[in-house]
């Protein structure tokens, strides 16, 4: 296993991904009830984006996911911005995450003769560039159905510019996340191989049930299709109910030896028709289920909708104890 994610896993396993962005932005007073969702904060309150990223690093996360899930040029143009303004905002989203990592590291004492190395400084810290599906741009819940069809050229044209900006702005890898549609994933991995061959990505699917993508593709078949792709460094699921995660991990493991990533929602139940949530009926948490997911084969864990820095801190404590000892951050040191 090589590449930046594989190198990080060789230093620390499991790796911990951050949690929800929108949930925390709302606590900062950012209104996410719009077509851009959390990406609106890139315009209205970029400091809040930075602060959310930093709070997850402080909680012990290894990987920050940029606030670009719904940030793409057509989406910004739809609200009246021009292409150049949209490009600057996408790049700024990377800057927010990188600056939060740097600020966090600067707050951790460097080792001296008088003290021992600080575990918080020594763990891998990466920034993953979020690439959400075309369905997220539609802003009608299509990322949970996969009910849309574009040609390969159209998918590539939609994703290319955001990926270029993310790469040039300095993300360590791409996060192709909440992917409901296998045709779109095939286009993304083709684009990655053809035009971004110096980058790597993980692919995480949204699911209809534990064995199928939202578009009906069998999860094990989807994982098998990615198994031989060199640029794909992990395969998994995100934005799924807690209770689906374990079976989904087993399904993926049956088809690939690649690292498995899982970052489900916090257990609350989302109602797309009303865009509201019902509190978690099971009472289970990420931390309570983490050992099961690791036993099933996952090596990268985190949270998606409604998860918080407190959830990530509990997850870190379960996986690594109160202190985490590993090696430092960034594309330069781990690639």
Distances (CA, A) of 256 to 17, 36, 190, 251: 21, 35, 19, 9
* Strand partners of residue 15: 300
DSSP 21: S
Amino acid 334: pLDDT: 37
Amino acid 120: pLDDT: 60
The mean pLDDT of 286-295, rounded to a whole number, is 97
Model confidence over 134-155: pLDDT tens digits? Answer: 999 998 889 999 999 999 999 9
Annotated binding site: 239, 304-305
Q: Sorting pLDDT into bands at 50, 70 and 90, what band is 280?
A: confident
The helix (H) or strand (E) run that includes residue 278 is strand 276-278
**Does residue 330 carry a pLDDT above 60?**
no
The helix (H) or strand (E) run that includes residue 271 is strand 269-271
Annotated binding site for Zn(2+): 239, 304-305
**Does residue 264 carry a pLDDT above 90?**
yes
* Token pair 């379960």 in the structure block, residue: 318
**Does residue 40 carry a pLDDT above 90?**
yes
Model confidence over 162-188: pLDDT tens digits? Answer: 999 999 999 999 999 999 999 999 999
**Does residue 116 carry a pLDDT above 50?**
no
Total domains in the chain come to: 1
pTM of the predicted model as reported, rounded to 2 decimal places: 0.92
Amino acid 325: pLDDT: 37
The answer to whether 242 touches 264, Cβ cutoff 8 Å, is yes
**Does residue 227 carry a pLDDT above 90?**
yes
CATH of the domain at 174: 3.20.20.330
The mean pLDDT of 264-286, rounded to a whole number, is 84
Amino acid 236: pLDDT: 99
DSSP 142: G
Model confidence over 52-89: pLDDT tens digits? Answer: 999 999 999 999 999 999 999 999 999 999 999 999 99
Amino acid 3: pLDDT: 94
Domain hosting 98: range is: 3-334
């Amino acid at each position: 296993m090589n590449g930046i994610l594989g190198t990080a896993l060789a230093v620390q396993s499991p790796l911990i991904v951050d949690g929800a962005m929108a949930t925390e932005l709302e606590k900062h007073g950012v209104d996410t009830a719009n077509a851009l969702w959390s990406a609106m904060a890139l315009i209205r309150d970029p400091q809040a984006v930075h602060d959310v990223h930093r709070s997850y690093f402080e909680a012990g996360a290894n990987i920050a996911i940029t606030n670009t899930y719904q940030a793409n040029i057509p989406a910004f143009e739809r609200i009246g911005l021009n292409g150049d303004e949209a490009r600057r905002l996408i790049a700024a989203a990377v800057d927010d995450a990188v600056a939060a990592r740097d600020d966090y590291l600067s707050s951790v004492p460097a080792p001296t003769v008088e003290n021992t190395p600080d575990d918080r400084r020594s763990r891998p810290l990466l920034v993953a560039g979020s690439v959400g599906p075309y369905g997220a741009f539609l802003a009608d819940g299509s990322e949970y159905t996969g009910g849309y069809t574009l040609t390969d050229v159209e998918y590539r044209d939609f994703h290319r510019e955001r990926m270029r900006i993310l790469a040039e702005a300095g993300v360590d890898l791409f996060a192709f996340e909440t992917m409901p549609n296998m045709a779109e994933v095939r286009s993304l991995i083709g684009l990655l191989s053809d035009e971004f061959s110096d980058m790597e990505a993980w692919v995480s699917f949204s699911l209809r049930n534990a064995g199928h993508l939202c578009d009906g593709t069998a999860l094990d078949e989807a994982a098998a299709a990615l198994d031989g792709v060199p640029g794909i460094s992990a395969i998994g699921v995100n934005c799924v109910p807690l209770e689906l995660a374990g079976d989904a991990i087993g399904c993926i493991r049956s088809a690939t030896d690649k690292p498995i990533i899982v970052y489900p929602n916090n257990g609350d139940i989302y109602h797309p028709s009303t865009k509201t949530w019902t509190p978690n009926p099971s009472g289970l948490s990420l931390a309570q289920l983490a050992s099961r997911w690791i036993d099933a084969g996952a090596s990268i864990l985190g949270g998606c909708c409604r998860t918080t820095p407190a959830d990530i801190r509990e997850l870190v404590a379960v996986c690594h104890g109160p202190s985490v000892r590993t090696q430092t951050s960034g594309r330069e040191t781990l690639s």
